[in-house]
Amino acid sequence: DIQMTQSPSSLSASVGDSVTITCRASQSINRALNWYQQKPGQAPRLLIYGASSLRSGVPSRFSGTGSATDFPLTISSLQPEDFATYYCQQTYSIPFTFGPGTKVDIK
């Protein structure tokens, strides 16, 4: 199975800050990497698919890059609604696996 790790596991930031979360796969997954946002009590929401494609309706302050094993997600100019937990996921091979999550909270 492909293991996904995320760093950091949590971070504190202020509104207007730019933050980067990194996801790493235990082997190459090409660009089969997705990013999700989840708020307490809510279902996950897809932000980025295919490593860098912004899902329709997602603000352009979210951006994803990378290929093979290393995938950064950047949120430029954090907004109050961005404080949440972020998960990466690989859909390169079965079983699909998620990273452990990165919690972004308010400093």
Instruction: Tell me which residues touch other proteins (CB under 8 A).
Output: 1, 30-32, 34, 36, 38, 43-46, 48-51, 53, 55, 87, 89, 91-92, 94-101
What does the DSSP 8-state code read for residue 95? S
Contact 70, 22 (CB under 8 A): yes
Q: Which is nearer to other proteins, 70 or 77 (CB)?
A: 70
Q: How far is the CB of 15 from other proteins (least distance, A)?
A: 26
Q: How far is the CB of 89 from other proteins (least distance, A)?
A: 7
Q: CB within 8 A of 43, min separation 6: which ones?
A: none
